[in-house]
Amino acid sequence: MAIKIIDHAFDPYYEIQRYQNTQLDHLGAIGATSLFIGTMRDFNQGSQVTGMSLEHYPGMTEKQLELCIEKAKGLWPILDSLIIHRVGTITPNEVIVLIAVWSSHRGDAFDATRYIMEALKSTVPFWKKECLETDAERWVTSNTSG
């Protein structure tokens, strides 16, 4: 299990490969890997968006991410998981979040990945501020439902 907060652009597939090659638990038992990758779009709520800054609460972020994983583990028999989340200045098409869940059976991996993503969006202290084409900035005030 690993949690990473990264302040620069990252390639989610490189990160997953590295994790699988060096840290992954329970290899022979894994039948299902479910991944979710959230990417910054170039539009939101009707406006062109040119960039974003992502603030967080260091320490509480990691604590709440661990809680998301612990809760998922209590609900499904997952074998391993990895969460990586960006902070700092982000441009469109860059990855904001990667969630990976490994399990023996596919239903558990699907359920746990989605659960962790929804839990992250509602409980982990990250805040997005968008830069619009007009040079205006605006805080994103609430997450859309999943």
Structure tokens at 68: 């998301």
Q: Which whole-number Å values give the CA distances from 123 to 17, 55, 128, in the listed order?
A: 28, 14, 14
| Segment holding 82, helix H or strand E | strand 78-86
Any contact of residue 76 with its own copies (CB under 8 A)? no
The secondary structure of residue 142, as a DSSP letter, is -
Partner whose binding site includes residue 55, from its own copies, another protein, none (CB under 5 to 8 Å by kind): another protein
Site for its own copies (CB under 8 A): which residue of 9, 27, 60, 75? 27
By CB under 8 A, residue 96 contacts another protein? yes
Q: What minimum distance in Å lies between the beta carbon of 62 and its own copies? A: 22
Check residue 59 and report its DSSP letter.
Answer: T
Tell which positions 109-128 bind its own copies, by CB under 8 A: 109-110, 113-114, 117
* Partner from its own copies, another protein, none contacting 140, C-beta within 5 to 8 A by type: another protein
Q: Can you read off the two tokens belonging to residue 121? A: 């969006």
Rg (Cα) of the chain, in Å, rounded?
16
Contact residues for its own copies (CB under 8 A)?
11, 13-14, 16-17, 27-43, 92-93, 104-107, 109-110, 113-114, 117, 144-146
